[in-house]
């Protein structure tokens, strides 16, 4: 039997609708419009695309979007001074500084200058520490998106064996911590892990975030496992006429995996669209907390 395809595009649309409902409620019942500030330094083309998309979806959800585009040569002091202004602006509930930053800037210092309560990326050291000690925190968007999809598919995750492949600060580590907080038994695998197929073969849940195209093979999986593929890799494939085209693939070999898995996210159209949807969800969470309102449970942890 072929695996259920977990449609992230569809699910992200549902999350955005829930966010828009919450915005309507906050406006009509509290007179509050949630606001998200996105800061872009320089002209990295991929970052420009992301920032445009974030701004568009923020406005579509009924929130205020504040875009700050700074010159590549902007000094770190000027960026920190903008962050300080945004930290103290009551109309701004979430702040995101698009990464990567130009080389002359200290990314860690910049991230840690954002007020933790407005850190909708969940990258601030205080939010990392809070997540790791099971305290109320802001949670990184991509792992949050994976968790919402897993909860939607499984309901209770408690007691399941989860293997996260990849140990990055942005995806692997927070993902593992979120799954641990859901009472999964969690293994973090990485490039030095011995006998990876054997480790993956014991998992009820596999989250792949290694950045290696189609590395994880279907016959490594336990039958019926749920596979969340965070990888977005561009590979070159040859057409019949010998010309070459680009194709997006995940970290999992989808064709072989869908024959063994119980459920799997495709690439594209899986986890990808969930990241911005969760950024909007985090802005709602931050806005509610700033105003002493309990945030909606289904949009966070
Ligand atoms: N650059 C690529 N992805 C992200 C993200 O999730 N947050 C930020 N701040 N920058 C990014």
Are both 181 and 64 inside the same structural domain? no
Give the number of C-alpha atoms closer than 13 A to the C-alpha of residue 290, restricted to the C-beta side: 27
Question: How far is residue 61 CA from its own chain's centroid?
Answer: 18
| Percent of the chain's residues with pLDDT above 70 | 100
Are both 198 and 250 inside the same structural domain? yes
Mean pLDDT in residue range 38-58: 97
CATH, residue 56: 3.40.50.10860
- How high is the mean pLDDT of the chain? 97
Structure confidence at residue 192 (pLDDT): 95
Q: Please say if the pLDDT value at position 23 is more than 90.
A: yes
Are both 90 and 41 inside the same structural domain? yes
Query: Cα of 98 to ligand 1 centre, how many Å?
Result: 5
On whether the CB atoms of residues 64 and 33 are closer than 8 A, the answer is yes
What are the pocket residues of ligand 1 if the criterion is a CB atom closer than 6 Å to any ligand atom? 96-99, 121, 141
Residues forming the active site: 54, 98, 121
Q: Which domain holds residue 38?
A: 31-115
Last residue of a domain, one of 66, 81, 115: 115
Position in ligand 1 atom list of the atom nearest CA 47:
1
Q: Please say if the pLDDT value at position 127 is more than 90.
A: yes
Query: Cα of 231 to ligand 1 centre, how many Å?
Result: 15
Position in ligand 1 atom list of the atom nearest CA 140:
6
Residue where the block lists tokens 């999350």: 15
On whether the CB atoms of residues 129 and 136 are closer than 8 A, the answer is no
pLDDT in tens, 134-156: 999 999 999 999 999 999 999 99
Ligand 1 atom 2: residue of nearest CA: 99
Mean pLDDT in residue range 81-108: 98
Compute φ and ψ for 193, nearest 5 degrees: -65, 135
Total Cβ atoms within 10 A of residue 207: 30
Position in ligand 1 atom list of the atom nearest CA 99:
10
Q: Please say if the pLDDT value at position 1 is more than 90.
A: no
**Cross-strand partners of 70:** 41
Q: Please say if the pLDDT value at position 8 is more than 90.
A: yes
Structure confidence at residue 221 (pLDDT): 98
Distance CA 191, CA 210 (A): 8
On whether the CB atoms of residues 176 and 186 are closer than 8 A, the answer is yes
Closest to 274 (Cα-Cα) out of 13, 46, 97, 57: 13
**Cross-strand partners of 249:** 233
Q: Please say if the pLDDT value at position 117 is more than 90.
A: yes
Compute φ and ψ for 31, nearest 5 degrees: 70, 25
On whether the CB atoms of residues 108 and 134 are closer than 8 A, the answer is no
pLDDT in tens, 231-285: 999 999 999 999 999 999 999 999 999 999 999 999 999 999 999 999 999 999 9
Helix or strand or coil: residue 150? helix
Q: Please say if the pLDDT value at position 207 is more than 90.
A: yes
Beta strands in the chain (DSSP E): 4-5, 35-41, 64-70, 94-97, 161-165, 185-189, 205-208, 226-229, 233-238, 244-249, 263-264
Mean pLDDT in residue range 29-40: 98
Total Cβ atoms within 10 A of residue 251: 24
Query: Cα of 37 to ligand 1 centre, how many Å?
Result: 13
Residue where the block lists tokens 């969760």: 278
- Evaluate whether residue 100 is within a structural domain: yes
Structure confidence at residue 95 (pLDDT): 98
Are both 79 and 149 inside the same structural domain? no
CATH, residue 201: 3.40.50.720
Domain count within the chain: 2
- Evaluate whether residue 24 is within a structural domain: no
- Evaluate whether residue 130 is within a structural domain: no
Are both 156 and 70 inside the same structural domain? no
């Amino acid at each position: 039997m072929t695996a259920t395809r977990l449609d992230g595009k569809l699910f992200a649309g549902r999350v955005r609708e829930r966010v828009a409902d919450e915005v309507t409620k906050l406006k009509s019942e509290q007179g509050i419009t949630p606001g998200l500030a996105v800061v872009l330094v320089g002209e990295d083309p991929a970052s420009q695309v992301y920032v445009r998309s974030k701004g568009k979806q923020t406005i579509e959800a009924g929130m205020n979007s504040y875009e700050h585009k700074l010159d590549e040569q902007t000094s770190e002091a000027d960026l920190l001074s903008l962050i300080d202004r945004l930290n103290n602006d009551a109309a701004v509930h979430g702040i995101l500084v698009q990464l990567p930053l130009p080389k002359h800037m200290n990314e860690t210092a910049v991230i840690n200058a954002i007020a933790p309560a407005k850190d909708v990326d969940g990258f601030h050291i205080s939010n990392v520490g809070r997540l790791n000690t099971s305290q109320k925190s802001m949670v990184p968007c991509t792992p949050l998106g994976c968790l919402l999809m897993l909860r939607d598919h499984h309901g209770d995750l408690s007691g399941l064996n989860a293997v996260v492949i990849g140990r990055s600060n942005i995806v692997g580590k927070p993902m593992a911590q979120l799954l641990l907080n859901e009472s999964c038994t969690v293994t973090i695998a990485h490039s030095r892990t011995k006998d990876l197929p054997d480790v993956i073969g014991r998992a009820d849940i596999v989250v792949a975030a290694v950045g290696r195209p189609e590395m994880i093979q279907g016959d490594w999986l336990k039958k019926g496992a749920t596979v969340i593929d965070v990888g977005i890799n561009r590979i070159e494939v040859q057409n019949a006429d010998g010309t070459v085209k680009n194709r997006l693939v995940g970290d999992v070999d989808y064709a072989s995996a869908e024959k063994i898995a119980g459920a799997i996210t495709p690439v594209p159209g899986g986890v990808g669209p969930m990241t911005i949807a969760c950024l909007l969800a985090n802005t709602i969470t931050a806005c509610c907390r700033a105003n002493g309102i309990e945030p909606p449970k289904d949009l966070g942890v």
